[in-house]
Structure 1
Amino acid sequence: MSEKMLVTQALDERDLLVKKINDKIEKASFIDTIKPNEDKVFEKRIKKEDYVKEATAAYQQITDLIERFQTIDAAIVDSNAKTEISTSYGKFTVAGAISLRSRLRGGGAYDGEADFERRIQYKLQSEYDETVVELRRRS
């Protein structure tokens, strides 16, 4: 079943899911010990069968939330790949604009090496400054 929501709603829910998943993982108990002559687990002091049910239910809740997170995350990526916007650099998909912004801020895999616009601006400015200094020296 497919549901529709705004990208902003999806972003909010994705952020909330991160918190929920981490909280449930933190609070869940999946391993405990039991003595051979006891019928209750050591930490929780409940019957082994009840502990197994709790652990199984907690694990299922976590995996269900992870699946929802992945579904929403994939839908956001898909939307960003299809939705076009106009920027001062031209028309881009949202994903392309995000990539450009990251590149211009020196982020991403190239660690600032892909900020071509700034590099060419510095190169032009540097050559201009050197030429002006040389011309003044000759005069």
Structure 2
Amino acid sequence: MITINQIRSSEYLLINIIFALLFLSIFIYSLIFASSGAYPVKSVCDDIDTPICISKGLSRAFSQIMLGNIEEAKSLNKHSLLIFLFFLIQIISRVTLSVFYTISIKKRMVINLDIAFSSLLFIYCFKGFLIKLFETFFSFPNTYTY
């Protein structure tokens, strides 16, 4: 069991708790508004009808995943399952790695493993967003004439 004193003396444990609560709040938000669909935070994508808005439908897709409607979630946003899995795996890993951190004598190794795992997981789960970001910012129009 992790004690309050351990949390106070370790920034790593505190950060893990904050991230776990943040990710958990995303799931709670999705579940609360799943049935009504009346999300209090309006998406910027609602006013934009362009393929550049890759996150369109993500909140609704998360709600559908929480209700078990996987196919509906995929139709709302094709990246939703991977992003949902990222948050779910992160909640589990925040708890698991915090326990390993408290019982391990090689705390630096646990932190390095966490950084590597979380970074690779982020790149994999958000690859669609990262590719779109790269394409958006690094594709310049051909304005040169030869």
TM-score > 0.5 by shorter chain = no
Structure ranking higher in strand proportion: 1
Report the TM-score when normalising by structure 2.
0.27
Report the TM-score when normalising by structure 1.
0.28
Structure ranking higher in helix proportion: 2
Query: Relative contact order (alpha carbons < 8 A, sep ≥ 6): 1 or 2 greater?
Result: 2
